[in-house]
Amino acid sequence: MRKLKLDELGRSSVEEYRQQKKLPITVVLDSVRSMHNVGSIFRTCDGFAVEQIFLCGITGQPPHREIEKTALGATNSVNWRYFEDIKEAIAELHQHSYQVIAVEQAEGSTQLNTFQPKASERYALIFGNEVNGVSDEAMSLVDGCLEIPQFGTKHSFNIVVSAGIVLWDFFAKLNLGETHISQPYH
């Protein structure tokens, strides 16, 4: 077996990426502290061709050296916006008919493995602060909550791992994005 070289991967240019259809998901980062986590989320969102990222609260914003260290240029391909207040971000998402879902351990949460996204819906997935999770303000406004099943001794996954798991799950359940992708609303 031979590893493929970069020029054999057939990746889109940034301009081609911006023009291609997107997975109908907006990722919302609710006061994520680590710039490296923010950069890694950008890179993961690029990999799954999500519509956009909303950066909220204390979440760092590009351009920033530590974000770029892990984003590897994904801040140039993935659309993003900043909101000082998570409530404003959620209100805008609801205004544009997104199902707003927290990724959190909470009463009444749905286990990710049992959740079936609908191809006709657009989703906003909120990932929270590394210590405190999704804020109480956001939790009071969401339409639902997904929880990743865990079986070890730790209380949670790293936010980047959580984003990768959840985005892959949505991507796979929506037929690997081949028929159920949309254009961003702006």
26-60 pLDDT, tens digit each = 999 999 999 999 999 999 999 999 999 999 999 99
Contact 185, 96 (CB under 8 A): yes
Residue with tokens 């980047």: 160
Q: Is residue 184 part of a domain?
A: no
Residue 37's CATH number: 3.40.1280.10
User: For residue 10, what pLDDT band results from cuts at 50, 70 and 90?
Assistant: confident
Q: Is the dihedral of CA 81, 82, 83, 89 positive or negative?
A: positive
Q: Is residue 90 part of a domain?
A: yes
Q: Is residue 133 part of a domain?
A: yes
Q: Is residue 170 part of a domain?
A: yes
Q: Describe the strand order of the beta sheet including 98-103 as a list of residue ranges.
A: 79-83, 50-56, 23-30, 122-128, 98-103, 144-147, 110-111
> Residue 86 belongs to what domain range?
21-174
Q: Is residue 10 part of a domain?
A: no
Across-strand partners of 87? none
Q: 75 exposed, middle or buried (CB, 10 Å; 0-12, 13-18, 19+)?
A: buried
Q: Is residue 50 part of a domain?
A: yes
**Distance from C-alpha of 64 to C-alpha of 126, rounded to nearest angstrom:** 22
| Whether the predicted pLDDT of 63 surpasses 70 | yes
Contact 130, 37 (CB under 8 A): yes
Show Cβ contacts of residue 2 under 8 Å, excluding neighbours closer than 6 positions.
none
CB environment 89-116: b (16+ within 10 A), e (fewer): bbebbeeeebbbbbbbebeebeebeebe
- Total domains in the chain come to 1
DSSP H stretches of helix in the chain:
14-19, 35-47, 65-71, 86-95, 136-139, 159-173
**Distance from C-alpha of 151 to C-alpha of 163, rounded to nearest angstrom:** 18
pLDDT at 176: 63
pLDDT at 85: 98
Q: Average pLDDT, whole number, for the chain?
A: 93
Whether this prediction's pTM lies above 0.85 is answered by yes
Q: Is residue 71 part of a domain?
A: yes
Q: Is residue 158 part of a domain?
A: yes
User: For residue 7, what pLDDT band results from cuts at 50, 70 and 90?
Assistant: confident
Across-strand partners of 102? 126, 145
